[in-house]
Structure 1
Amino acid sequence: METKFDLAKAANLTPRQADCIELVRRGLTAKQIAHQLGISHRTVEQHIATVMDILQVNNRLAAVARLQEIEREHEGTSPKFMLDPNAELVDFSNAFIQAPPLRTSAKSALSQSILPPLGGSRNDAPKVRRMIWMVRIAAVATMLSCLVFLTVLGLSDMAEFANS
């Protein structure tokens, strides 16, 4: 028989993340979830943010919709990340916000992860990914400035040698 967290494993979630998102699915706030699980509401918010990052969605509703999509893909199995199998679930299938599809090609994932996207669209990347992009851009800028400095230094040495 399958265990309680099989669907969570399919979505690469920890059991605690699965518990938090399941309670979000039932409509509880972070403080209500924290009270029920006996943890800090900030910890709950962090678990939910991590789930949203893993599922590549922008909000809680989209995360729940994406989990329901994963659930439907594994049809024939009951929800495995529920705390109470008899609990009533909120149906988000008709929600106006749709979870974005997962990236399918390795090329698109690679091009989106190395540097930030260019253009006028809003950057909804997680904070960690934006920080990585900033560090990469700073490193490239530093290398380019070193290249320019060494080129100027080399040209001045060549000019000095030619004048001697």
Structure 2
Amino acid sequence: MLDEVHRPVEDIRLTARQADCVALVAQGLSSKEIARELGIAPSTVDNHIAIAMHQYGFTNRNAVARWYRETVESKQGPDPRASATAAEISLIRRELLLGTPPLGGIRNSLSVKERIVSVAQVSILSIMATSAAVTFVLGLIFLLKLRM
């Protein structure tokens, strides 16, 4: 049950962008993640959410997100075509474009042993790459000295 007093949905009209922000908040995204997803500033996301909260009479983001999940998503039902959430799509898109994980990282589900093995693998590969680069540079220097 919702603690806050809110107006009937029929009386409220959100802009498309406000509705997008509320939907993404309901999926658990932060303002920064929503901003990246929609291509707007995090402060703009906060403004859209604040307006929606005010119009519906909620006092915090969690309340409006809970309301959204309980009312809007339950009426629409899950989209059978959507196999990934917006957060997962954003994560995949960011990793493909930048090759880096999102700000704040993702939860690491590896055991301590698996983490140690992963760190060791990265260390060994780094040493091998550095050795190859040093050998290449020294070889070039050697060849240049032979020509002189």
Tell me if TM exceeds 0.5. no
TM-score by structure 2 length?
0.43
Structure (1 or 2) with the greater helix fraction = 2
TM-score, normalization by structure 1 = 0.39
